[in-house]
Amino acid sequence: MIDALKAEAERIGFDFCGVASAGLAPEADFFKRWIEAGCHAGMEWMAREVERRTDPAQILPGAKAVVIVGMNCYQVQPVRRGRVAMYALGRDYHELLLPMLEDLAGWLARLGGVQRCYVDTGPILEKNLARLSGVGWQGKNTLLIHPQGGCWFMLGCVLTTLELEIMAPVRDHCGSCQRCMSACPTRAIVEPYHLDARRCLAYYSIEHKGAIPVEFREAMGDRVYGCDECLAACPWNRFAQQTRHAGLAALELPDLREMLYWGKEDFNRLFRHSPVKRLKLSRWKRNIAVALGNIGTGEDVLALEHAAAEGDELVTEHAEWALLQIRKRLGNMLSSRPASG
């Protein structure tokens, strides 16, 4: 049965497949303490339904197993100003994974039982379940590490009431390595296997709705969506292969400076099928302003002044900060002038 399940998952397009028990998560107590300590930052949705998050059977009554599948998202980063997290370079993985999960659930349904699919769209601890399913282990950066592909995967889950053979977990192979911890620009991995989102650049550039704390702005560097440092540092990524999923191919983006002149229609048109769309225009310009504050030149001043004058308080604050940073770098004699490139 397991071999047939894996073959079907591969036929559909998944890069790996495993099966975990739908019982209470072994990490339940740690997750509850993590929430109580406030390490989820402003992601209040994580603090809701904690009991359901740690017990899949509460989500699907009678659930016996959870099928975990993964999609490889690794590709060479485009050469341009402004880094976007690997998983978000192309089409929104929710749009790609969910129909594939539904296909797999349909195959399981022909064997009987009831199924429910999730792509981090419900109260599921996907990474913990993936660890239990035998497809990899949860590294010190808290992410799944696949022994043949490293960290560059998106996960999907199918809860089922079918009695499936449970696969054995993979042994943790991190050993004494702490490269992911050392690579984090803000030391958000406060100890092995423990990430504090209140220090995480991925959190501030994606989930956080307000101003990015000044103390973290320089650490943002040229990042405009997410942060991959703790993933990229993992030595297991030496086995990573180019993704075979054409939908994940990186979108072509204008230069950061040009996007500061955008209106909502411009943003929505380019990012309508991208994870970036969740930011909306204001936070996108916020992130661009911070990036230009770190890497911008005199040619970016006019665009930043335009953004600062548009009337969006969030954008204005970050554009003014960026202008100050550029002027510090280039000297106070810098004046506004039309961009030459």
Q: What sign does the dihedral 78-82-86-89 (CA atoms) show?
A: negative
Q: Measuring CA to CA, how many Å separate 6 from each of 13, 18, 132, 165?
A: 11, 8, 16, 12
**E strands, the chain, where?**
16-21, 65-72, 83-84, 115-118, 137-138, 144-145, 153-160, 189-191, 194-195, 223-225
Place of tokens 């411009």: 266
Provide the CA 246 distance to its chain's centre, in angstroms.
Answer: 19
What string of DSSP letters covers 22-86? Answer: -S--TTHHHHHHHHHTTTTTT-GGGGTTHHHHT-GGGTSTT--EEEEEEEE---PPPSSSSEE-G
Residues 6 or more apart whose Cβ sits within 8 Å of residue 48: 123
DSSP code at position 273: T
Distance of alpha carbon 36 from alpha carbon 19, whole angstroms: 30
**Active site residue: 55, 120, 172, 312, which one?**
120
Concerning whether 120 is annotated as a catalytic residue, the answer is yes
DSSP string, 165-185: PPPPPPPP--TT--HHHHH-T
- Hey, how many other C-beta atoms are within 10 angstroms of the C-beta on 70? 25
* Contacts with 13 (C-beta within 8 Å, 6 or more apart), sequence order: 71, 100, 245
Q: Which residues are catalytic?
A: 120
